[in-house]
Copies of this chain bind each other. A is one copy, B any other.
């Protein structure tokens, strides 16, 4: 951190902008929007990516069920209306982080294309990078993994409207990054994402 050289010198050139923060951090902000079935490996790749970015000195922050569903979205349930509002709010928060200069890593099933496209439009209207990362895994494989035992409960009828079972997953038509998580290692997935970030000038080449 640079020392402040003169305490009597003040900021006079107007508001601090996204560019100032980008210069301070050495990289651009962006939203990486991981989408895919439960058990597809969204969080696994997001956690690994976060670690790699931190090692590279790049500020990233994960938005996930733990810090969002229990926080800003704790007053939302699972009705169709609330699910849409859930994604809208996450999108708005991710946009603020991207504006701040952070690589925001959003990791939610987000099964509906219209909701994801809304978040994309929000970013693009403000000139911010939105990178849709499709974590693509066949349902049979995700259901075999069933890390949280949720598919089992859905098949038993204990959970209703479960994505892939009795609620649709609308796969992205043109994701910026398409990962076949049943065929790639997590490290390979991270490499593909990092390449995409460099290609877009979000990270230095």
- Chain A: residues with CB nearer than 8 A to chain B? 1-4, 7-13, 15-16, 20-21, 24-27, 47-48, 50-52, 54-61, 63, 67, 71-72, 75, 85, 89, 92-93, 95-97, 99-102, 186-187, 190-191, 204
Other A-B contacts than A11-B54, A13-B51, A61-B96, 5 sampled, CB-CB below 8 A, are: A16-B50, A16-B51, A16-B60, A71-B92, A71-B96
The answer to whether A4 and B55 touch across the interface, beta carbons within 8 angstroms, is yes
Oligomeric state, in number of copies? 2
User: From A51, which residue of chain B is reached at the shortest CB distance?
Assistant: B11
The answer to whether A24 and B100 touch across the interface, beta carbons within 8 angstroms, is no
The answer to whether A52 and B93 touch across the interface, beta carbons within 8 angstroms, is no
- The CA-CA distance from A75 to B82 in the complex, in Å, is 13
Among A15, A54, A85, the most chain B Cβ lie within 10 Å of the Cβ of A54
Chain B residues with CB under 8 A of A12: 51
